[in-house]
């Protein structure tokens, strides 16, 4: 598919700065990712389209 440089900066609802970057799957273990299960999930094989909904509010 090729490579594309992607970076984005946004502000959350509480005015915290949020930065997004594309990360190669084999480098996910070096990153902090949310939702917390996503590193393991993305490392496994998938078929078809999946709709994932999470709510980690306390």
Predicted local distance difference test score (pLDDT) of residue 37: 85
**Beta-bridge partner residues of 10:** 18
Q: Higher confidence at residue 17 or residue 48?
A: 48
Q: Higher confidence at residue 42 or residue 7?
A: 42
Q: Please give the Cα distance from 39 to 29 (Å, whole number).
A: 7
Predicted local distance difference test score (pLDDT) of residue 8: 65
Looking at the chain, list the stretches that DSSP marks H as alpha helix, in order from N- to C-terminal side.
38-43
Whether the pTM exceeds 0.85: the reply is no
pLDDT digits (tens, 9 = 90+) for 22-55: 888 888 888 888 788 888 888 888 899 989 888 8
Predicted local distance difference test score (pLDDT) of residue 6: 59
The number of helices, as runs of H, and strands, as runs of E, in the chain is 1, 2
Q: Please give the Cα distance from 24 to 22 (Å, whole number).
A: 7
């Amino acid at each position: 598919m090729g490579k594309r440089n992607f970076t984005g900066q946004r502000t959350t609802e509480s005015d915290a700065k949020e930065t997004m970057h594309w990360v190669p799957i084999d480098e996910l273990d070096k990153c902090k990712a949310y939702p917390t299960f996503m590193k393991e999930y993305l490392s496994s094989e998938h078929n078809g389209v999946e709709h994932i909904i999470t709510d980690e509010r306390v």
